Every structure is written in structure tokens, then in C-alpha cells.
Amino acid sequence: MTSITSASLPLLQLQSSLKRKPCNLKSSTTMRRFTTKASASETTSAAAPAPEPSKLPMRKIPGDYGLPFIGPIKDRLDFFYNQGRDKFFQSRAQKYNSTVFRANMPPGPFIASNPNVIVLLDAKSFPVLFDVSKVEKRDVFTGTFMPSTQLTGGYRILSYLDPSEPRHEQLKRLLFFLLKSRSSHVIPEFHSSYTTLFETLENELAKEGKASFQTANDQAAFNFLARALYGTNPSDTNLGRDGPSIIQTWLLFQLGPIMTLGLPKFLEDPTLHTFRIPPFLIKKDYKRLYDFFYESSGFALDEAVRLGVPREEACHNLLFATCFNSFGGMKIFFPTILKWVGRAGVKLHARLAEEVRAAVKSNGGKVTMASMEEMPLMKSVVYEAFRIEPPVPLQYGRAKKELVIESHENAFVVKEGEMLFGFQPFATKDPKIFENAEEFVADRFVGEGEKLLKHVLWSNGPETEGPTLGNKQCAGKDFVVLFSRLLVVEFFLHYDSFDVQVGNSSLGSSLTFTSLKKASY
């Protein structure tokens, strides 16, 4: 769930510039997915075959890594401060006349021993990162460095395991079990938690004339996850209302090397990107989180033991899946959805309100899985938000063997062991795939537009595929889609329209509501 804030620059301009510089070288989400039981795929062989030939012109991968130590630091400073994230990639793609090139990815010295990557920026080359027969996903969840396992109880958590590792299948089965066993609680608990959030926003708006979404959403998201997945209300435990603030600090300890807090360069780079924050500083608070999950998840821990996973290791994984993957996703993506819907204006709001209310009314006045399947515009809006601003922008994988990868224009040879890196927001705004790729088009995925969903990439795979035991798609990927749909549904059951001010935060966008027009029915 990594996210690094920066102003967006259009990929359309990038690819247009590439066309002007010719190469001169010689050569429907439903609950059923949560019960997936596919077996892990085989990922090794006695002798790796030679890469398949390509019909595209072969080209040496352009770019270089610069001088040791100096090159990675220069790229880090460009990435965070001198250029910013999007311009960092765009400028190099224009320089090399290629959407595939070599660069260094942060953090570099002294946190990451090898920051060298091959960057993939287009929709055609990017999917190789999901093919576990070609790339290894071991310890690459956060990129060229891995946070200390002291932050996760001394264990390598599921997100850092490659599907070829036996523990990967055991832990993913555990998460499938949790999601399946608690699926009936999701919709009612979401309604309860987010009705409270709306009341909080309305009270603050009446009192202050504006209302911040972030803090209220963090509390609602954590309460919802705890109640829906574990049947426990955090306020009734020793954790109280401290969960979201502890998680946010814990996330900083893990993601600090690849994010910016907006502090001055001379202060932030040496402290956040050069040395790790000592894990012992969060140890006491993390123990509070762990105790909450251990006491709340007995039924899931019993299943873990049956699967061959010790209770302690299982608990750290449940905590991570809930707090990093699920809570982190809601923290980043919920403001994203409301930002784009808010900017779209009252005409879209009216269409969404009409569709949502009609579908709920025709299904007995209740929000159900069946009623949401009758909301094509609502579903398209959520998918479009995933496309234009995916909550997981960075993807990594290490080549298991020599590969040939293809952009739209060229083919490139990748050597065994090289690190591949994909910047997802450019791949999902590829103008060769999407018309008006930089624009938020609410009904893009309605009707025939559903065929484009295979190009919506955001959770270690395309939207048209689900998590299995043999791939690296997040086990709760379809739950996040469901949560996001529920946000839009509940919002337009409560309100006709809204106005919002958008800012930046260390994890995505910050929102301030300036008006909420209550539902007129």
C-alpha cells in the first residue's frame, strides 16, 4: 500500500514525445472469489528455456545507474525533491525515447544495498510483474529494501513471501478462511461504522463550516474492520480509540524510506531516507495492537494451527493483513474516490444517487450484493478511481531467468536476477489503451467498457483476475473493491451532493468537506 504524493504529469505527453523521436538502433467482483482454492503454481524447472523471440525490434535497455553510491543518491534526490515522482519517470522516458529504461529507485544508500532497477512504464510491459513463472516476489513488497522483521514480530509476513515458499500457501489459506467465515458481517458493519462517520462530519461541518475526512475515516475504517472481521469493538478493549494512530506510526516505520512527509530536503532526506528509524521506538505500541488481535481472533488462530502455522506467527500476519493491507488501502483509497467524484460535479452526483437509491429500493430497501450488481455506474466510478490513481503505485519483481519483455515499440532482454520495477499510474493511464487517459471518465467501464477492466492494474494483478494460492494478488483484493463500492453506495444514500477541498498528505490525498447536501427523499 505504498503511496508517494506528487503532482500528476500526463503519460500522453510522454508517449507523444517518444513518437517524435524514432529509434535509430539497428534493430464482476462478487463474494465467490473469497473462496478461491486454486493450488500453487509450479515456478521452478530443471533447465530454464531460452526467452521466446519477439516480432518487435530488439533494443538494448537504455539508461544507466551512474557512479556507485553517487548515482543512487542523485536519483533519490531527483525522485523526492528536485523533480518529484512523476517528472522523474517522464523526463527519463523522454531522454531515452523509451518507456523501459534503467534507473535507481529509493531509498538507496544506506538502507538498500542494490537500488538498481529496470523501469516499466507502459501497459504492455507492466504485466510481467504479475507472472510468478517469470519473476520472483520474495522480499520485494516494499521494493529494493525490506523493513526490519522486528516490526512484524520477527516474521517475514505473507506479503514478502514468494508463492514458491510453502508458508505462502498456508497463510493465504488462513486469510481466505477469515474472509469467507466473516463475509456476512461486512455490509451491516460497514453501514454502522460509516453512518457514525457521516454524523461526525455533519456535526463538525455545522460547528466549523468545514469537516476533515481523514481522522474520521481512519477511526471508522479501523472500527469497521475490527467488527466485521473479528466481531470486536475496539472501544470496548484496552486498545480504545488508539488503533488508527498506532497504525499510522507503524506504517511510517516501514514506508518512511520510500515516502515524503513534505519536510525540507536537508532535514528529511538524512533522517527518513538514509537511515532506518529504530524499530524499538514502536515496540510498546505494536504490542498493544498485537494483544488486541490475539484476543480477538481466536477462531482464526485455531484454523491457523490446523493449517500448520503457529498461533503467534498467524497473529502477526492477521495484524499485518488488517492494518497494513486493508486499513492502509481504505486510508489511501477512500479519499481518492471522493476526490474524483467530488470534482466530477453535481450531474454525476445526481446520476449516482438515482441509480443507488433505485437499486436499493428494488431489493427491499437494503444494501445487498445483488443490489450492488444493479449499479453499473457506481461500479464504473470505483474502477475508474482504481485506474486513474491506483492505491498501490509501485510494483517489483526479480527476473527468475533471462526474459524478453516488450513495450509497445520495442523488445528488451532482461538478465536473470535483475530487478524489474513498474510505476503503476503510468501503466493504467497508457493512452494506447485508454482514450482520454488522464481524465476521470465516470462511465468508462459501463457496457462494452467492461472489456477494458483487464487493463486496470492495482493489486499485484489485473482487475479481471482474483487472488489464488499460486499468485501474489492480495487475498483481500476483492474485499477492498467491495468496501470501496459500499462507500459510494452509503454516501449517496445519505447525500444528494457535496463539495470538497483537496490537498496532499503523506499517504495520498487529504479532503475537507465544505458542504454536504442531505438526501432529498
For every one of its 521 residues, what pLDDT tens digit does the chain have, with 9 covering 90 and above?
333 333 333 344 444 444 434 333 333 444 444 433 333 333 333 445 666 778 899 999 999 999 999 999 999 999 999 999 999 999 999 999 999 999 999 999 999 999 999 999 999 999 999 999 999 999 999 999 999 999 999 999 999 999 999 999 999 999 999 999 999 999 999 999 999 999 999 999 999 999 999 999 999 999 999 999 999 999 999 999 999 999 999 999 999 999 999 999 999 999 999 999 999 999 999 999 999 999 999 999 999 999 999 999 999 999 999 999 999 999 999 999 999 999 999 999 999 999 999 999 999 999 999 999 999 999 999 999 999 999 989 999 999 999 999 999 999 999 999 999 999 999 999 999 999 999 999 999 999 999 999 999 988 999 999 999 999 999 999 999 999 999 999 999 999 999 999 998 877 789 999 999 999 87
> Which grid cell is 14?
510522454
Pairing of strands 495-505, 508-518: antiparallel
Residues in Cβ contact with 400 at an 8 Å cutoff, skipping those fewer than 6 apart: 43, 48, 133, 134, 135, 136, 416
Q: Name which of 293, 296, 295, 348 is nearest 495 in CA terms.
A: 348
CATH number of 247's domain: 1.10.630.10
Q: Are 223 and 193 in contact (CB under 8 A)?
A: yes
* pLDDT, position 31: 42
For residues 412 and 415, give the distance between their C-alpha atoms in angstroms, rounded to a whole number.
10
Please report which helix (H) or strand (E) contains residue 200, including its range: helix 186-208
Residue 462 phi, psi (nearest 5): -75, 155
In a domain, 4, yes or no: no
Prior bond of 491 cis (ω within 30°): no
Residue 403 CB-half CA count within 13 A? 24
Q: Are 334 and 508 in contact (CB under 8 A)?
A: no
Q: Name which of 191, 196, 21 is nearest 97 in CA terms.
A: 21
pTM: 0.90
In a domain, 76, yes or no: yes
* pLDDT, position 50: 63
> Which grid cell is 392?
498501490
> Which grid cell is 441?
471518465
* pLDDT, position 49: 60
In a domain, 463, yes or no: yes
Give the chain's domain count: 1
* pLDDT, position 509: 85
Query: In which domain, by residue range, is 330 found?
Result: 70-518
Name 103's bridge partners. 117
In a domain, 459, yes or no: yes
DSSP structure string for 32-99 = GGGG--PPPPP---SSPPPPPP-SSPB-PPP----STTHHHHHHHHIIIIIS-HHHHHHHHHHHHTSS
Please report which helix (H) or strand (E) contains residue 331, including its range: helix 328-344
Q: Is 13 helix (H, G, I), strand (E, B) or coil?
A: helix
Find out whether 474 is annotated in a ligand binding site: yes
Residues in Cβ contact with 160 at an 8 Å cutoff, skipping those fewer than 6 apart: 138, 139, 140, 141, 146
In a domain, 491, yes or no: yes
Rounded to a whole number of angstroms, the CA Rg of the chain reads: 23
In a domain, 2, yes or no: no
* pLDDT, position 91: 98
* pLDDT, position 504: 84
In a domain, 6, yes or no: no
In a domain, 30, yes or no: no
